Amino acid sequence: GIQSIIRYYKKSNLPLAMLSERVAIHINDTHPALCVPELMRILVDEKALLGNKRGRSP
């Protein structure tokens, strides 16, 4: 899922901030829509990309 996409992208050695320029994720139906909060969790909690741990900008 989303973790696999992030893991694969990291192998490109590009910054995660450029993820939206390089990766497109097609969300179809209801259950796959859960990938949006999962992506946010990965970026905020694991990668600390979106500022502090609460997702607010510093």
Task: pLDDT band for 17, please (50, 70, 90 cuts).
Answer: confident
Task: pLDDT band for 55, please (50, 70, 90 cuts).
Answer: very low
Question: What are the sequence ranges of the domains in the chain?
Answer: 2-46
Q: Which pair of tokens denotes residue 24?
A: 């497109």
Residue whose tokens read 């910054």: 15
- Can you say how many angstroms the Cα of residue 11 is from the centroid of all Cα atoms in its chain? 15
User: What is residue 23's DSSP assignment?
Assistant: -
Checking if the pLDDT of 14 tops 80, the result is: yes
Q: Cβ contacts of residue 3 below 8 Å, gap of 6+?
A: 38, 42
Q: What is the pTM of this model?
A: 0.65
User: What is residue 29's DSSP assignment?
Assistant: S
Average pLDDT over residues 36-43: 88
Q: Which pair of tokens denotes residue 16?
A: 């995660």
